[in-house]
C-alpha cells in the first residue's frame, strides 16, 4: 500500500488510486508530499507557512525523498476496544476516569447514564479531540455543512479549547487540561494523551498543545523515527491503529447531530459521508489549497505587472465560475429529478383514474338510476298489495285456517234442503218397502242400505239452524275456500317480490354510490390534469435552466482550455517544465489532476457504500417500503420498493430520515479494516418506539464494543429489558455543584433507577 493511502485513509482501494493517478499523470510521490504539507499546516489561522511550503515543493526544491511521517507497517486488522478514559479539567470534568470491562462478544454493550448537562457530550467530544485535535473541529464543520472557514482556522479551534477548559480549575489557577484514552488494538495497548496549556488568564496559544502516545502494558512512550515530526508521526499511528478523522464521526457520533445531518439532501449526505470515510475530502481540500495558493501568488505577480499572472487570475476566476455552475447544476438537477418523479406519479394516477373499467360513464349511470327508480316504484306497489292481501292470510296459521274451512263447509250443508230427510226413520222404511215392491233390491241388501242411510243422517247430527257466516253467499264461500287452500303459493310469491324489492334497493344504492364516486373521480382527474400541467411546465423550465447552465459550462470549459494552452505554451517555451515550472500555473494543473483523480475514485466508493447501507437500513427501518438502496456513480441516491419503483420522491418522516442517516453512518463504520467500537450519545433521539427497538437490537447484536450514552428516560424500562442480556457494564455520570451554578461531574459504577417496563 502506498503511503498516500495512509494519508487519506486505508479504505480507498490502493490499486484504483494508483490507476487513477497514472491515468491523469499525477505522480503518487508528489501527491503524498502535497498531502503531507497540507496536513502539517492544516487549520493554521495564517496560511503563510502552507504557501511557503508549496513554494518550495512546486519549484522543485523539495527533497526527492521526503520524510514519510506515517508508519511503514500496513493498516492493522482485528478488534479495537476502549479500555479507559481519563479527563482532567475538560469541560464539566475536573478529574475523573472510567475503566471499561474487557470486551466480551456476548456482552458488547456498555451503558453510561447521565442527565442533560452532566457530561455525556463532553465525554464524546473529549475522545474526538484527544485523537484528532483541531482536525476534529474542521471535519465536524465539513460533515454538517457548517462554515468551513470557521472550522478550519486555528482561532476557532483555540476558542473551542479555551471554552472547554474546566472553569473551576481555571479559577483555582490551574494551567492545563488533558484527555487520555486507552485502547486495546491488534498491535497491543495504545494510549493517546493530548494536553492543552493555558496562560494566567486562560488563553491558549498555537503551540500550547502536546500529543503523546504510549504503548504496551508498561506504557512506554512510543519512539519517533529520526527526521520525523512527533505530532505528524503520532497522528499517522492513530490513523493506522485506530481510525482516521474522516471515519471517526461515524464511529463516535451524537444522535442529535445525526438528526441535524439527516435534514440534508440525501445526495449531500452520501457525498459528505463517503468523502469523509474514504478520506477523499483531503484530496478536495488539497485542491482548494492549491487554487487558493495560485490566487495568492498570482495577485502578487499581478501587482508586479506580470502578464502571466493575469492569465492565472482569469483561470482562477473561471474555475470559481465553473464550481458555482456545478453547484447550480446539481441543485437544478435535483429539483428536476424530483419534478419528473412527481410528474410520472401524476401520469400513473391519471391512467388509473381514466382506465378503470369498474366505472360506467356518468350518462349510463344516470340512465341506470332512472330505470331502477321506476322498477322500484312498480315493485313497491306490488309489494304493498301483497302485504295487504296475502301476508295476513299467510301469517294467520294453519290451525285457524282449518277451523275457518270447517265453518264454511257447515254453512254449505245447512243451506242444502234435503239434509233433514236422512234423519227420518219412517222415510227409510217407506224407501225400503218401495224398493222391494219394485223388485229392485232383495232382502239381503237391506243392511247395506240402512248403513248408508244412517251415515248420511249422522254427518248432519251437529248442524244447527244458524249459519256461521251468513254474509257470505255460496259462491263467495267457494272463493274464500279456494283462496285459503292456495295460501302457501301466495306466501312464496310475497317472499319473491320482497327479495326482488330488496335487490332493487341495493342496486339503487350502489348506483348512487357509483355516481358519487364517478363525480369524485372526475374532480380528481381535473385536479390531476391541472397538477400535471403545472409539473410539466416546471420540468420544462428546469430543463431550460439546466441547458443554460450546461451551455455556460461548455463555454467556460472552452475558455479554460484556451488559457491552459497559453500556460502550457509558456512552459514549452521555457524548456524543461520540471526544472523551470512556475509554481502558480503548475499548482493549477496539479489541482485539476487531483480533482480528476478524486472524481475517478468516487463511483467505486459509492458502490461499496450502497451495498452495505441497504442491509443496515432493512434492519433499522420498521417499514418495508424500501427494499433496495442504490447510489449512482455521480452520487445520486435511489430508493427502490419491492416492485422496483423509485420511491425517493415520497415524503418521509423525521424519524425515517434519521434512520437513513444512521444506516449510512453505520455502513461507513463497517468499511474500516478494524472492528471499531461505536460510541453513541443520545442514541434514540426523536425516533418512534418501533425504530427505537430496532436500533437498539441492531447496535447491541454486533460483534463490536458499543458504548451508549443515555438520558434517564431513554434506555430504561422495556428498552433496557430489550438489551439487558447484552450489557457488560453500567456507569453513571454524577454531578456536584461547586458554586454559582458551576459544577463538576464524575463517573461511577451503576445506572439510573429502573422504571417499569
Confirm whether pTM is higher than 0.75: no
pLDDT of 338 over the 60 cut: yes
pLDDT of the residue at 538:
86
Q: Is 338 exposed, middle or buried (0-12, 13-18, 19+ CB in 10 A)?
A: middle
What mean pLDDT do residues 550-564 have? 78
pLDDT at residue 301, rounded to an integer: 65
Query: Residue 300: is its pLDDT beyond 90?
Result: no
For residue 27, pLDDT over 70 is answered with: yes
Report the pLDDT value the prediction gives residue 202, as an integer from 0 to 100: 86
Q: pLDDT tens digits for 717-727?
A: 899 999 999 99
pLDDT of residue 140: 75
Which alpha helices (DSSP H) does 574-582 contain, by range? Answer: 577-580
Lowest-confidence region among 229-238, 431-440, 671-680, 715-724: 431-440
* Mean pLDDT within 627-631: 78
Question: 274 near 606, Cβ under 8 Å?
Answer: yes
**Quick check: 52 pLDDT over 70?**
yes
Average pLDDT for residues 308-314, to the nearest whole number?
A: 70
In whole angstroms, what is the distance from residue 89 CA to residue 196 CA?
10
- Taking only the tens place, the pLDDT of each residue in 109-153 is 999 999 988 999 999 999 999 999 988 887 777 666 655 444 445
For residue range 77-100, list pLDDT tens digits in order: 788 999 999 999 999 999 999 999
Please report, rounded to a whole number, the percentage of residues in the chain having pLDDT higher than 70: 78
pLDDT grade for 74, boundaries at 50, 70 and 90: low
Task: Count the alpha carbons within 13 Å of 738 in the hemisphere toward its beta carbon.
Answer: 14
Asked if pLDDT for residue 572 goes beyond 50, the answer is no
The yes-or-no verdict on residue 352 having pLDDT over 80 is no
By the 8 A CB rule, do 201 and 166 touch? Answer: no
Q: What is the pLDDT of residue 101?
A: 95
Q: Are 7 and 135 in contact (CB under 8 A)?
A: no
C-alpha cell at 284: 478536495
Taking residues 57-63, report their average pLDDT. 67
The C-alpha cell at 235 is 497522528
| Angstrom distance (rounded) from CA 53 to CA 60 | 11
* H helices present in 397-473, as ranges: 398-414, 425-437, 446-458
More confident residue, 422 or 25: 25
pLDDT of residue 87: 96
Higher pLDDT residue, 366 or 188? 188
Using an 8 Å Cβ cutoff, are 247 and 11 in contact?
yes
Q: Kindly tell me the sign of the dihedral angle through the C-alpha atoms of 570, 574, 578, 583.
A: negative
Select the more confidently predicted residue: 623 or 704: 704
Read off the pLDDT of each residue in 470-492 and give the average, rounded to a whole number.
73
Distance CA 431, CA 426 (A): 9
* The pLDDT value given to residue 741: 63
pLDDT in tens, 515-535: 777 777 778 788 888 888 888
How, if at all, do strands 706-710 and 109-113 pair? Answer: parallel
* Chain mean pLDDT for the chain: 78
Q: What is the pLDDT of residues 145-185, one digit of tens each?
A: 655 444 445 678 889 999 999 989 888 889 999 999 999 99
Amino acid at each position: 500500500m502506498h503511503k498516500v493511502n495512509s494519508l487519506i485513509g486505508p479504505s480507498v482501494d490502493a490499486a484504483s488510486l494508483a490507476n487513477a493517478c497514472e491515468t491523469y499523470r499525477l505522480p503518487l510521490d508528489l501527491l503524498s508530499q502535497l498531502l503531507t504539507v497540507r496536513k502539517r499546516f492544516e487549520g493554521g489561522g495564517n496560511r503563510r507557512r502552507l504557501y511557503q511550503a508549496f513554494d518550495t515543493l512546486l519549484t522543485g526544491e523539495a527533497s526527492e525523498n521526503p520524510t514519510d511521517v506515517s508508519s511503514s507497517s500496513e493498516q492493522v486488522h482485528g478488534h479495537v476496544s476502549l479500555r479507559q478514559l481519563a479527563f482532567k479539567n475538560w469541560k464539566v470534568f475536573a478529574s475523573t476516569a472510567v475503566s471499561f470491562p474487557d470486551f466480551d462478544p456476548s456482552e458488547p454493550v456498555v451503558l453510561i447514564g447521565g442527565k442533560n448537562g452532566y457530561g455525556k457530550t463532553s465525554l464524546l467530544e473529549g475522545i474526538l479531540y484527544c485523537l484528532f485535535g483541531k482536525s476534529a473541529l474542521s471535519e465536524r464543520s465539513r460533515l454538517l455543512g457548517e462554515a468551513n472557514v470557521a472550522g478550519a482556522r486555528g482561532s476557532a479551534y483555540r476558542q473551542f479549547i479555551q471554552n472547554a477548559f474546566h472553569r473551576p480549575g481555571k479559577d483555582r489557577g490551574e494551567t492545563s487540561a488533558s484527555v487520555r484514552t486507552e485502547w486495546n488494538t491488534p498491535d497491543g495497548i495504545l494510549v493517546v494523551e493530548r494536553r492543552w496549556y493555558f496562560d494566567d488568564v486562560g488563553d491558549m496559544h498555537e503551540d500550547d498543545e502536546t500529543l503523546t502516545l504510549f504503548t504496551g502494558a508498561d506504557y512506554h512512550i512510543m519512539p519517533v523515527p529520526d527526521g520525523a515530526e512527533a505530532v505528524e508521526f503520532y497522528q499517522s499511528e492513530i490513523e493506522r491503529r485506530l481510525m482516521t478523522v474522516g471515519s471517526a464521526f461515524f464511529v463516535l457520533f451524537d444522535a442529535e447531530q445525526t438528526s441535524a445531518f439527516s435534514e440534508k439532501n440525501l445526495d449531500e449526505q452520501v457525498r459528505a459521508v463517503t468523502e469523509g470515510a474514504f478520506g477523499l475530502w483531503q484530496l478536495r481540500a488539497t485542491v482548494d489549497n492549491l487554487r487558493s495558493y495560485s490566487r495568492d501568488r498570482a495577485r502578487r505577480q499581478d501587482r508586479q505587472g506580470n502578464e502571466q499572472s493575469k492569465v492565472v487570475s482569469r483561470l482562477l476566476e473561471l474555475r470559481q465560475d465553473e464550481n458555482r455552475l456545478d453547484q447550480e447544476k446539481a441543485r437544478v438537477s435535483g429539483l428536476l429529478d424530483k419534478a419528473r418523479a412527481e410528474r410520472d406519479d401524476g401520469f400513473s394516477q391519471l391512467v388509473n383514474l381514466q382506465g378503470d373499467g369498474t366505472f360506467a360513464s356518468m350518462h349510463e349511470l344516470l340512465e341506470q338510476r332512472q330505470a331502477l327508480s321506476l322498477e322500484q316504484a312498480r315493485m313497491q306497489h306490488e309489494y304493498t298489495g301483497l302485504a295487504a292481501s296475502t301476508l295476513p292470510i299467510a301469517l294467520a296459521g294453519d290451525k285457524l285456517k282449518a277451523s275457518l274451512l270447517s265453518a264454511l263447509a257447515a254453512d254449505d250443508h245447512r243451506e242444502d234442503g234435503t239434509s233433514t230427510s236422512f234423519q227420518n226413520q219412517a222415510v227409510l222404511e217407506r224407501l225400503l218397502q218401495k224398493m222391494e215392491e219394485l223388485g229392485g233390491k232383495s232382502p239381503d241388501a237391506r243392511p247395506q242400505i240402512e248403513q248408508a242411510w244412517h251415515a248420511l243422517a249422522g254427518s248432519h247430527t251437529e248442524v244447527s239452524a244458524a249459519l256461521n257466516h251468513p254474509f257470505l253467499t255460496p259462491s263467495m264461500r267457494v272463493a274464500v275456500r279456494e283462496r285459503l287452500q292456495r295460501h302457501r303459493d301466495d306466501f312464496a310469491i310475497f317472499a319473491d317480490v320482497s327479495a326482488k324489492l330488496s335487490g332493487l334497493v341495493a342496486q339503487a344504492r350502489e348506483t348512487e354510490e357509483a355516481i358519487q364516486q364517478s363525480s369524485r373521480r372526475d374532480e380528481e382527474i381535473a385536479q390531476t390534469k391541472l397538477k400535471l400541467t403545472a409539473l410539466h411546465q416546471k420540468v420544462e423550465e428546469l430543463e431550460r435552466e439546466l441547458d443554460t447552465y450546461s451551455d455556460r459550462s461548455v463555454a467556460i470549459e472552452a475558455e479554460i482550455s484556451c488559457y491552459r494552452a497559453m500556460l502550457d505554451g509558456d512552459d514549452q517555451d521555457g524548456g524543461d517544465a520540471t526544472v523551470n515550472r512556475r509554481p502558480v500555473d503548475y499548482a493549477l494543473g496539479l489541482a485539476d489532476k487531483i480533482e480528476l483523480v478524486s472524481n475517478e475514485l468516487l463511483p467505486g466508493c459509492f458502490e461499496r457504500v450502497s451495498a452495505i447501507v441497504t442491509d443496515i437500513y432493512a434492519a433499522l427501518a420498521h417499514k418495508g417500503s424500501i427494499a433496495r438502496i442504490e447510489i449512482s456513480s455521480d452520487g445520486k441516491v435511489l430508493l427502490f420498493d419491492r416492485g422496483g419503483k423509485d420511491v425517493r420522491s415520497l415524503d418521509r418522516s423525521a424519524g425515517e430520515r434519521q434512520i437513513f442517516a444512521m444506516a449510512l453512518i453505520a455502513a461507513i463504520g463497517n468499511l474500516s479494516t478494524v472492528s471499531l467500537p461505536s460510541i453513541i450519545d443520545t442514541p434514540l433521539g426523536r425516533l418512534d418506539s418501533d425504530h427505537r427497538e430496532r436500533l437498539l437490537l441492531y447496535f447491541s447484536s454486533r460483534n463490536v464494543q458499543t458504548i451508549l450514552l443515555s438520558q434517564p428516560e431513554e434506555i430504561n424500562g422495556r428498552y433496557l429489558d430489550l438489551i439487558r442480556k447484552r450489557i457488560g457494564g453500567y456507569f453513571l455520570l454524577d454531578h456536584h455543584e461547586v458554586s454559582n451554578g458551576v459544577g463538576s461531574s464524575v463517573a461511577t459504577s451503576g445506572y439510573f433507577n429502573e422504571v417499569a417496563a
